């Protein structure tokens, strides 16, 4: 029997890019596809792609994508033969896997026993230690008392890493440099772990000073076969979240690959692993990759975000393999049959602002365009007109490039990023392009600290005003203003009769005067000057130099008379200045209004009215997209107002705390 005969229909218990990815393969194989969605995703791309779609609840994930009962109810109603959990949400939830089995629905993933064995970092480390796989020194036990964990950190030696035992994607992970920082970091890691995974337990381990992150893709079937599909290097990270991944790993030798591959497959066999999984290792980047110098970190019992680079070099469709294994079929190949061709890299394009500490960015995608070309693949779950909400991971797309060599793959990636257009939310597009072109990354050696060490060179710090972008938008705004005047004149002439003295066509026997145009540029007032010459209009910005022959600038129109100027991957929002729309809170000039940097949940307030605070002191914590963001005092002062309420939602720009003198 074929896969479609054994599993004729599939429900995708996920959203966004991965739901689209699974649907594409399922449709190619002939399966009926069933989507579930929250109210926020009612018009999402994956909902449109699926054969059927069912609403399962409000926007918050806990009331929709994390509600196993609702998803199983839809699966039964729709007659789904199997459920693919994607990654995140319920993908590593053993209880959900058990519930699928009890309902007679195939779970496209490993057995619940394997998820339990490997799904929690502390249990996984204990398991592989028994198999003589080296692990990073640390405390992986059950005791969770804060004082006890602080003592373990002292014993291990700083710096240490606190990690949520059920964590992933950098959530619930905190690096701690000194003892006095431990308590706050622990509390934050526990809150993030509870919010993202429903589990606030943590482990503490030694922080490897120059960590290189290499993972092995493993695959097992129900017939006892386990193979690995080469490795991926995921060392380019920020806040413990992967930014660019590649396969194979630079500097990998046949000896090290064999040792890592053996350790990974043995770990998978030890738990009777079935399906796609990833065993993650860490090595000291100062030493290079050595067969006896790598340590087990964790095993992810699911498909990984970065799986396309493995598909690119092996020619395999990992989702198809997952479905094949879930249908009870053998893999159909052995370790000796697996080969790799060329090199592949993947960049994660996010709605976030690198110039503001990579804060998540939300809003409507006024323009979104990706390139096509040899060796380029785009995996996305959104299209122009969609809205990036604060409820889920802010990924816009994965841009994947494959080439004969690493340099060719990176050249193709950089080129593809340069031809990508994102308008609306801020994005890390320019940052990714600079990263793909960075000499230190291309020539190595590099480790997980590479981005932090080169943050300024990569442009992930506040940048000066983009005068060329502002000038392009200013001309557009003035053209609109003139067009509006002509329309008004035409309407007046039609009703009152023509008069040359009231005409608005800008005709003059004398040189046209210099026009002063007050603008609002990314929330700040800027004065532009427009002069008309024989060759056309020219814009100047007092105090700013506009370079000639700049890279092409494109414009995307947003709402409320705003134009988004896109230049070298950066976005500048420009509109006419409206003196009646002044932010009165900001107009006082005291710099004492502390606002929410994005839409989210106010999880903690540390001050009250009348309290004295010092510059840099923690005032509050806002959680957005399952990550915590600390709000600090911009200066010394006295708290004159506390506008936020812990547990309540706050809008981007909403007052949280106000400081007096």
Residues annotated as catalytic (active site), given as ranges: 302
d(CA 571, CA 97): 43
d(CA 116, CA 347): 31
Q: Tokens in use for 601?
A: 């949940």
d(CA 165, CA 222): 27
User: What residues form DSSP beta bridges with 628?
Assistant: 623
d(CA 346, CA 349): 9
Calculate ∠ Cα 68-304-343, nearest 5°: 165
d(CA 612, CA 144): 34
User: What residues form DSSP beta bridges with 285?
Assistant: none
- Reported as type and span, the H/E element at residue 226 is strand 226-238
d(CA 419, CA 438): 18
d(CA 387, CA 39): 13
Residues 590 and 661 sit within 8 Å (Cβ to Cβ) = yes
d(CA 221, CA 224): 6
HEC-encoded secondary structure of 21-78:
HHHHHHHHHCCEEEEEEEHHHCCCHHHHHCCEEEEEECCCHHHCCCCHHHHHHHHHHH
Strands 612-613 and 554-557, bridge-based pairing: unpaired
Q: Tokens in use for 629?
A: 């963001």
d(CA 106, CA 176): 42
Residues 530 and 514 sit within 8 Å (Cβ to Cβ) = yes
Instruction: Give the full edge-to-edge strand order of the sheet including 138-139.
Output: 138-139, 202-206, 160-168, 171-176
Per DSSP, 354 falls in state G
Q: Which of 453, 417, 449 is nearest to 432 (CA)?
A: 417
Burial of 587 (0-12, 13-18, 19+ CB in 10 A): exposed
Q: Which of 230, 212, 408 is nearest to 297 (CA)?
A: 212
Calculate ∠ Cα 461-173-65, nearest 5°: 100
- Reported as type and span, the H/E element at residue 407 is helix 406-418
CA-to-CA dists, residue 296 to 122, 208, 263, 279, angstroms: 11, 12, 9, 8
d(CA 396, CA 394): 6
Q: Which of 336, 344, 286 is nearest to 313 (CA)?
A: 344
Calculate ∠ Cα 426-161-178, nearest 5°: 100
Residues 6 or more apart in contact with residue 420 via CB below 8 angstroms? 349, 369, 370, 371, 399, 429, 569
Instruction: Give the full edge-to-edge strand order of the sheet including 627-632.
Output: 627-632, 618-624, 600-605, 649-650
Q: Tokens in use for 286?
A: 């100062």
Residues 6 or more apart in contact with residue 552 via CB below 8 angstroms? none
């Amino acid at each position: 029997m074929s896969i479609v005969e054994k599993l004729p229909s599939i429900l995708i218990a996920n959203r966004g890019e991965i739901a689209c990815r699974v649907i594409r393969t399922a449709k190619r194989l002939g399966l009926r596809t069933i989507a579930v969605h929250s109210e926020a995703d009612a018009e999402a791309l994956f909902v449109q792609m699926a054969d059927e779609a069912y609403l399962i609840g409000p926007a918050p994930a806990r009331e929709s994508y994390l509600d196993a009962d609702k998803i199983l109810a839809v699966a039964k109603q729709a007659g789904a033969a199997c459920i693919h959990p994607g990654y995140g949400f319920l993908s590593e939830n053993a209880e959900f896997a058990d519930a699928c089995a009890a309902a007679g629905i195939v779970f496209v993933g490993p057995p619940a026993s394997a998820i339990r064995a490997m799904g929690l970092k502390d249990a996984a480390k204990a398991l592989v230690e028994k198999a003589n796989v080296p692990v990073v020194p640390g405390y992986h036990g059950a005791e969770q008392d804060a004082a006890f964990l602080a003592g373990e950190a002292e014993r291990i030696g700083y710096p240490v890493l606190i990690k949520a035992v059920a964590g992933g994607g950098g959530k619930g992970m905190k690096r701690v440099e000194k003892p006095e920082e431990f308590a706050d970091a622990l509390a934050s890691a526990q809150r993030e772990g509870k919010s993202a995974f429903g589990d606030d337990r943590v482990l503490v381990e030694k922080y490897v000073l120059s960590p290189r992150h290499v993972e092995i893709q493993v695959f097992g079937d129900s017939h006892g076969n386990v193979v690995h599909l080469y490795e991926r290097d995921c060392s380019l990270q920020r806040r413990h979240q992967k930014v660019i991944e590649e396969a194979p790993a630079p500097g990998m030798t046949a000896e090290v690959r064999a040792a890592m591959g053996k350790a990974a497959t043995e770990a998978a066999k030890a738990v009777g692993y079935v399906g796609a999984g990833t065993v993650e290792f860490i090595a000291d980047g100062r030493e290079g990759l050595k067969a006896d110098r790598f340590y087990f970190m964790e095993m992810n019992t699911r498909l990984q975000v970065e799986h396309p680079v493995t598909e690119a070099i092996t020619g395999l469709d990992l989702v198809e393999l997952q479905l094949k294994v879930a249908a009870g079929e053998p893999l159909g190949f052995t370790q000796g049959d697996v080969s790799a061709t060329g090199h592949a890299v993947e960049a994660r394009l996010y709605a976030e602002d690198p110039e503001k500490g990579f804060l998540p960015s939300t809003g409507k995608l006024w323009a979104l365009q990706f390139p096509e070309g040899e060796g380029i693949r785009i995996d996305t779950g959104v299209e122009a007109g969609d809205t990036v909400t604060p409820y889920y991971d802010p990924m816009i797309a994965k841009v994947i490039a494959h080439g004969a060599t690493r340099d060719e793959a990176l050249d193709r990636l950089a080129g593809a990023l340069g031809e990508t257009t994102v308008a609306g939310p801020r994005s890390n597009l320019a940052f990714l392009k600079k990263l793909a072109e960075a000499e230190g990354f291309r020539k190595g050696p590099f480790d997980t600290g590479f981005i932090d060490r080169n943050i300024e060179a990569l442009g992930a710090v506040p940048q000066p005003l983009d005068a060329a972008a502002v000038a392009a938008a200013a001309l557009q705004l003035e053209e609109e203003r003139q067009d509006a005047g002509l329309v008004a004149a035409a309407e007046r002439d039609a009703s009152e009769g023509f008069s040359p003295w009231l005409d608005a066509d800008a005709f003059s026997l004398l040189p046209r005067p210099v026009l002063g145009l007050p603008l609002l540029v990314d929330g700040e007032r800027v004065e532009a000057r427009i002069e008309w010459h024989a060759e056309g209009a020219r814009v100047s910005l007092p105090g700013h130099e506009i370079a000639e022959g700049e890279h092409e600038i494109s414009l995307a129109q947003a709402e409320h008379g705003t134009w988004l100027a896109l230049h070298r991957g950066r976005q500048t929002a420009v509109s006419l200045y409206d003196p009646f729309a002044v932010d009165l809170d900001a107009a006082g000039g005291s710099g004492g209004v502390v606002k929410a940097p994005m839409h989210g949940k106010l999880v903690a307030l540390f001050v009250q009215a009348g309290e004295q605070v010092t510059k840099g002191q923690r005032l509050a914590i806002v959680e957005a997209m399952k990550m915590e963001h600390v709000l600090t005092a911009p200066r010394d002062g006295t708290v004159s107002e506390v506008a936020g309420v812990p547990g309540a939602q706050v809008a981007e720009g909403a007052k949280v705390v106000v400081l007096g003198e």
